[in-house]
Structure 1
Amino acid sequence: MTQRRRVLDLLRTINMASCQCPAHSHRGNIQVTNATPLKDYAFEIKCSTVRYGLGVTKEVGLDLLNLGAKNVCVMTDPNVVSLSPMKAVLDSLTSKGINYKVYDKVRVEPTDSSFKDAIKFAKEGNFDSFVAIGGGSVMDTCKAANLYSCDPDADFLDYVNQPIGKGKDVTVQLKPLIAIPTTSGTGSETTGMSIFDYEEIQAKTGIANAALRPILALIDPLHTLTVPKNVAIFSGFDIFCHALESFTAIPYSERGPAPANPALRPVYQGSNPISDVWARFCLQTLNKYFFRSISNADDIEARSSMHLAATMAGVGIGNAGVHLCHGLAYPIAGNVKQFVPDDYGKDPIIPHGLAVVVTAPAVFRFTAASDPDKHLEAAELLGADVTGVKQADAGKVLADVILRYMERLGIVNGLFELGYKATDIPKLVEGALPQHRLLKLTPVPQSGEDLSKLLEDSLTVY
């Protein structure tokens, strides 16, 4: 305690002795107390190593060789397994004499059941390293398989986020995981998040821990040339909402309580100056390249830029977090009825990017009062003219620019066209309320009635 008091006294002395001249008078006022802060006072940036470049996938064999890998689990889905990205991975492993086994049963929009099947494969294989090649579903499944194979006695809900699971901290040592994304959206290649549909409650939840992060993300824009149109659109809107939500999330200094130990600081910490850099980059990239990347699948500049933006958005959300669009999207996707979009097979599914963007206009009208300037800045970065716009109109302006993107890219006219009616709203609210991790990052408090209103406003959006 004596040493702590000396530190506090020193800080106070520095504050009092700081230069008072006009040039330096905006130094702030350091407030130091002996009490444990109710709000957090720091943020940290953690990220996978990122390697970006055309054809970089061919290096994965050498990467595994450098790690001393002897028995590798390669995870992918039934679509990617027959495409050129998978061939590039296996050719690289074979050329370096790396032994591997392929798990190609990853479910697009995974469930707890599909996670458990992949976990069983990983446990039986006794692998010393993992490679995930595919979209966010593949990378999230591979993270879970790695975790539970390294803690084989754990109950499935031990690591799942509270209040659905126990939210247990990860203390076991995970095996090296290399992630190679083939879509441009989730940013899962850099995050400690693993998301799935928990079938019991018909809503998404997940596992959040820095230990899940891949050690290396190989960002190869060549893989984006094989992405179908609707997959590219919905993945792009995932970037869109990642950037907007992390940019407008509650500031890190307003999130609480402060951790008693820095190791306990959560993965999602709130907006901060560094994550804001990534968000701005992503919004500018979307403004310049989103439409181009969809109108011409062979536009390598546009698709490369979107691929990089997805990773940068992942760095942003992996530390700042997301809020209401994602919190509402989880029950929207989990309660799908008959909606089957093109390019996604024959089974009913509401792709993640579609589920998050459908409520975005309503969400940002709702959150704008928390920081009108930031909402207007986001709208401007996306291409809106905000000259002379009043702060009171920030939510409307941002919502209008979001709608412009949605309409031009053919997004359905709200929840109604996804198969939902007003009578479904209570069940959707029920699925959203347990998403504490996301709702608490929303920059304004919200009640169940607020969530109901947001969903009502999203039944039709144009």
Structure 2
Amino acid sequence: MASAIRVAPTKAARAMSLLRTVQYTHPPSCPCHGNPSHHHHHKPSNSLLSHAKRNLQRNYATPVDLSRQKEYAFEMAASSIRFGPGVTKEVGMDFKNMGAKRVCVVTDSTVKHLNAMKQVQEGLDQEGIDYIVYDGVRVEPKDTSIKEAIAFAKPYQPDAFLAVGGGSVIDTAKLMNLYTCYPNADFLDFVNAPLGKGLPIDKPLLPLIAVPTTAGTGSETTGSAIFDLASARAKTGVAHRVLKPTLGICDPLNTRTMPSAVHASSGLDVLCHSLESWTAIPYNERMPRPQNPINRPAYQGANPISDIFSLQALRSTVKYLPRAVRDPDDHEAQSEMLLAATLAGVGFGNAGVHLCHGNQLSSPT
């Protein structure tokens, strides 16, 4: 009897097998994917599955295992983005157009001395908008510094937030916004499970405008806010679409003060975001399929639209990051890297990331 002929799997098949193995046996430690209510590792409770199976058994001769049904649709969500040199000065008009009267401006002790903050304050003053400045954001914020920021914002009772700085500043502002809108919530209520309770956010938040001063995290486009939970010695966060800034003002003039080392480290963020989201498992290979569209996660897997953003960000990073690091006066490269960071944010903010993203490759921004 002739022995069976083994057909070697293709490279694509091997890659898909590896990603599936990682997804279901070693879920990513990225805190963006830590909330079971909002990511693709969530499995319906046993009681819900049992109820669904009973219903299916009454209607179909062959019961269907809901937990094994693949996704068939995807959604795209992103903040509105305004990009261009000098657009920071328009922020006062934006808040006036929104009807905001009391703005909480969030920054850090370094950025508060930069031209970006000067432009912001002049814009708010010109429109007669009352504001207060919180400049106590910590690099790589911990839960303790986040709580201090929240305690600062609550008594002021702002009707809008403005974040001016890197990813730490923008993420802190997102959480200030969240807990100002939920003043009686416990801090761990919305923190990703299992470290927090992972409760759903069931109402809109206040307007938040983000003005990034680094080209890396893409936080101006995403619905996640990351911090260190000191008691658990772990990095976690809150992930929900309502955390996305209302508007991201991406002004290339604001990244010209970045040192070369920060260009390099933040550029690695862009590289990882774009590469991982572009190579993520496709949305229609994800399981389980949500039974209600409201439960469709923010991080759904690669799709034809996210691929466009991720691939363009990847190409730009390969082309412009070395130039931005080598020459501090290469303003074209700096501008293109800011755009790449924003594009990558839209890409991974919808497709998600995988494998190495649990590692911190960038220095604090």
| 2:110 aligned to which of 79, 88, 103 | 79
User: d(CA) in 2 for partners of 1:231 and 1:287?
Assistant: 16
Q: Which residue identity is paired with 2:112?
A: V
- Provide the TM-score with structure 2 as the length reference: 0.80
Change (3 A) 1:138 1:243: same
1:184 and 2:215 aligned = yes
Query: Given residue 271 of structure 2, which amino acid in structure 1 is its aligned partner?
Result: F
Residue number in structure 2 paired with 1:315 = 346
Distance in 2 between the 1:309 and 1:328 partners?
A: 21
| CA deviation after TM superposition for structure 1 residue 203, in Å | 2.1
Following superposition of structure 1 onto structure 2, how do residues 45-444 of structure 1 map, counting pairs within 5 Å? 45-329=76-360, 351=363
Q: Secondary structure at the match of 2:164?
A: strand
Any unmatched runs of 5+ in structure 1? 1-32, 334-349, 354-462
1:189, 1:213 within 8 Å by CA — same for their partners in 2?
A: yes
1:38 aligned onto 2:50: no
State the Cα distance separating 1:34 from its structure 2 match.
7.5
In 1, the alpha carbon distance for the partners of 2:189 and 2:70 equals: 27
Higher relative contact order (CA 8 A, sep 6+): 2
CA drift at 1:352:
5.4
Identity %: 56
Aligned equivalents of 1:310 and 1:35: distance in 2?
Answer: 40
Q: Distance in 1 between matches of 2:106 and 2:188?
A: 22
How far is 1:303 from its partner?
0.3
Structure 2: which amino acid aligns with 1:96? Answer: E
Show the counterpart of 1:381.
none
Structure 1: distance between partners of 2:291 and 2:184: 29
Contact 1:151 1:172 in 2 (8 A): no
Kindly indicate whether the alpha-carbon contact (under 8 Å) linking 1:184 and 1:232 is maintained by their aligned counterparts in 2. Answer: yes
Post-superposition offset of 1:229: 1.7
Return the alpha-carbon distance in structure 1 between the equivalents of residues 310 and 297 of structure 2: 20
What residue identity is the alignment partner of 1:164? L
Deviation at 1:172, TM superposition (A): 2.6
CA distance in 1, matches of 2:190, 2:71: 24
Higher deviation after alignment, 124-133 or 156-165? 156-165
Per-residue displacement from partner, 1:27-83 (whole Å, max 9, x unpaired)? xxxxxx987562221111100001100100011000000011110000001110011
Partner Cα separation in structure 2 for residue 48 and residue 299 of structure 1: 28
Per-residue CA distance 1:205-236 (angstroms, 9 max, x = gap) = 11110000011011100001011121111110
Which SS does the other structure have where 1:218 is aligned?
Answer: strand
Residues 292 and 127 (structure 1), Cα distance of their counterparts in 2 relative to 1, 3 Å cut: same
Residues paired across the two proteins, number = 302
Residue 230 of structure 1: SS of its match in structure 2? helix
Q: Give the whole-Å Cα distance in 1 for the aligned partners of 2:172 and 2:186.
A: 16
The separation in 1 between residues aligned to 2:65 and 2:233, in whole angstroms, is 42
Q: Which amino acid aligns with 1:118?
A: A
Q: Any conservation in 1 of the 2:192–2:238 contact (CA below 8 Å)?
A: yes
Q: Whole-Å Cα distance in 1 between the matches of residues 343 and 332 of structure 2?
A: 16
Residues 129-167 of structure 1 deviation map (CA, whole Å, 9 limit, x = unaligned): 000000000000000000001001111111111111111
Q: Is the 8 A contact 2:116 2:254 kept in 1?
A: yes
Q: Tell me the distance in 2 between the aligned counterparts of 1:140 and 1:153.
A: 20
Equivalent residue letter for 1:273: P
Q: How many angstroms apart in 2 are the aligned matches of 1:49 and 1:57?
A: 15
The CA distance in 1 between the partners of 2:160 and 2:210, in whole Å, is 11
Partners of 1:208 and 1:255 lie apart in 2 by: 19
Q: What SS does the aligned partner of 2:91 have?
A: helix
Gaps of 5+ in 2: 1-62
* Structure 1 residues 132 and 270: CA distance shift in structure 2, 3 A: same
Q: Which amino acid counterpart does residue 82 of structure 1 have in structure 2?
A: H
Letter in 2 for 1:91: E
- Report the residue type matching 2:227 in the other structure: F
Q: Distance in 2 between matches of 1:323 and 1:95?
A: 45
SS at match of 2:351: coil
Provide the secondary structure at the position in 1 that maps to 2:232: coil
Instruction: Give per-residue Cα distances to partners, 1:89-116, cap 9 Å, x unaligned.
Output: 1111111111100000001111111111
Distance 1:230 1:78 in 2: 19
